Amino acid sequence: MKQAKETNKVLFVGSERICRQVAYVLAIENYKIVETLTNENYDQYQDYTIYVCEFKRKSKKLITKIWKSKKDIQYLDDICRQIDKEYLVNRRRHRKELKKFNKKTLLSCCFGWIYNLLKVVWHLINGSTIKHRRKINKLKKLIINNNYSIIKSTYLDYLQYLDLSVLFLYVLRAPVNKNIQCSLLESHMHIIDDQIYGCCSAILSFGSLLTTDNLFDIYHSVKARIIKLSSLNGSYCLCNTYSWCPHFCVSAENSNKSFFEIKYPKSVTLAFDRTCNLHCKSCRNERYIMDDLTQKKTDLILSKILDSKFLNHTQNLTVAGQGEVFYSRYYRKLLEVDLQCENICIMSNGTLFNEENWNWIKNKYNLFDVIISVDAARAETYSKLRCGGDFQILIKNLKFISSLKNEGLIRKFNLNFVVQRDNFREMPDFVRLGKSLGVNFIEFQRMNDYGSFSKEILLQRCLIINDEYLDYELWQVLQDPIFKDPIVDLSGLNRYIVASDIKYGKNKC
C-alpha cells in the first residue's frame, strides 16, 4: 500500500470512526482528524497529505471547492484502486511461486484438463456457475450501496470471492455488534497447512506461507489488517455470528477497542501436518499418508516458520491443531528448537503421551498446558471412534499426566470430547472420568466438517437437527446435574442448547 512519507503530516477528513479505521488499514499512526475542510482552514492544513474518507462523488459535504485543486488529496476511490492494484500484483507473484509445487506429468495434466472441462459443463447445465456469479454480484452491490440489513449469513461464504477493496468497504461500514465481544482475531494466529489465519479457518486467510519468505509480512499485510479490523471495529462482520462461536463473550455493550496493531500475536496455534497414529471417524476416513509433494511443502513451511523467528515473540504456543504432536516428525523437529516462548500447550490424542516422550520435552519450556482429545468413556466406543488406539494405554497415560499436574509439572490438564451419535450417552461418565483425573476443564465440542461425511450425514451424526437445535435424546442427557459442574465447558453447544430448551422445555420433567 502506498503510504504517506513519514516526514509528511497526515490529515483524515470525515467521521472519527471511519477515519481511524482507514488509518489502521493504511498503517498510519500519526495523524489528525477533522470533520470537514473549509476555506477557513485552508492555510492551516495546506502542507498535509489528506485522505478524504468518502467517495469522490459524495465528498461535497466534506470539502469546499478551494480544496479540490489540491493535488495530494486521496479519496476512498483512490485508496480502493491502490489496494486492488497491489493485491493483484502480489497474487500474480504468488501464483508463480505455487507453480513450483504443482509440477505434473503430461498424462496427469490431460486428466486434469478433462476433469475441469467436465466440471464446467456440469455447472453450466445445472446453472450453479451463473447462480454463484449472481450471488457475488448481488453481495457486491449490497456492500457498495451500504445495505447491511439485507446481508445475511447465506452471503458470508461468498466474501472470499470479493475484490479486496470491496471487502475493505464491507468491513469499514459494518455496524457495531453490541451483543458480543471477542479479541482473539487481533491477538492470535493460526497456521493451518500453508495458510495463515487470525483465529480459525472459518475466517478469511491472511495469505500463504508458500508464497512469501517472511511470516511477519503476511501478518501485517493490508489483507490481514482488513480482516483484523472486523474485530477491532466491533462489527465481527467476517464471523458467522448466526452460528455461535465458543470464543464469543456475551456483552450488553461492546467495549471500545483501540486501533493499535500489536507487532506479534500473543498466541499461535500450529496445525500444518495432518500425520497421526490414529484415524478417527470425526476427522478422516483412513490413515493419512503424506505423499512426496506434500512432504516438500511441509518441509518448506517448517523451515519458513523457524527461519522467521516469529515464534520467539509469542507468549503462548499450541502444538498441534491437527495431527499427533508425538508422531509427526515435523512437530518433533520444531519442538527440539529453543523457541523461547513462555508457555506451550500440547494438544494430543494421549496414546503417545508417555514417560519417555515427557522426558524428551519436559526441560524445554517453563509452563505446560495439556489438552487430550478422547471422545469416549468406554473401551468399545473408543475402539470404534478412535481407530488404531488402545483404551487401556490411553487410561494409563491419562493417569500419568494427572500425576504430572499433581506434582506441579504442568499447569493445566484439559480433556476434549467430540459429541456424536456413537458416544453421547457416555457424556456423564466422561465427566466422572475427568473428575477422577483432576482435570481443569472438560470441553464438549460439536462435530465439525473435515470432509469425512456429506452435510446431511454430518448433521445426523452430530445430533443437530436442521443446524438449529439438538436431538431430543442428547438434550435429555444434558439435563443431568453433573453438567453444572464448573469443570464442564459446553460453550461450543450453547447455541443449540438454548434453542433446544425453548423447543423441548414444555416436556422437561
pLDDT for 30-46, tens place per residue? 899 998 888 888 788 88
Q: What is the pLDDT of residues 232-280, one digit of tens each?
A: 998 888 887 655 576 776 554 445 566 777 888 999 999 999 999 988 8
93 vs 26, which has greater pLDDT?
26
Has residue 509 got a pLDDT over 60?
no
Domain ranges within the chain, ordered by starting residue: 1-103, 105-250, 273-507
pLDDT tens by residue, 95-154? 555 555 555 555 555 666 676 666 556 655 555 555 566 777 777 777 777 666 666 556
**b/e map 222-241, b = 16+ CB within 10 Å:** bbbbbbbbbbbbbbbbbbeb
pLDDT-derived band at 161, boundaries 50, 70, 90? confident
Q: What are the pLDDT digits (tens) for 387-439?
A: 889 999 999 999 999 999 999 999 999 999 999 999 999 999 999 999 999 99
Residue 1 has pLDDT above 60, yes or no: no
> 66, 72, 21: which is closest to 39 by C-alpha?
66
Between residues 142 and 74, which one has the greater pLDDT?
A: 74
Task: Provide the grid cell at 398.
Answer: 491419562
Across 300-312, b (16+ Cβ under 10 Å) vs e yields ebbebbeebebbe
User: Per-residue pLDDT for 6 more than 50?
Assistant: no
Consecutive H or E run containing 125: helix 106-126
Contact indicator for 216, 222 with CB cutoff of 8 Å: no
348, 410 Cβ separation under 8 angstroms: no
Least confident of 212-221, 353-362, 408-417: 212-221
Q: Which fold has domain 273-507?
A: pyruvate-formate lyase- activating enzyme (3.80.30)
Residue-wise pLDDT for 444-472, tens only, equals 998 877 666 777 777 778 898 887 899 99
Please state, for a pLDDT cut of 90, what percent of the chain lies above it. 40
- Are the beta carbons of 56 and 79 closer than 8 angstroms? no
Under 8 Å between Cβ of 378 and 426: yes
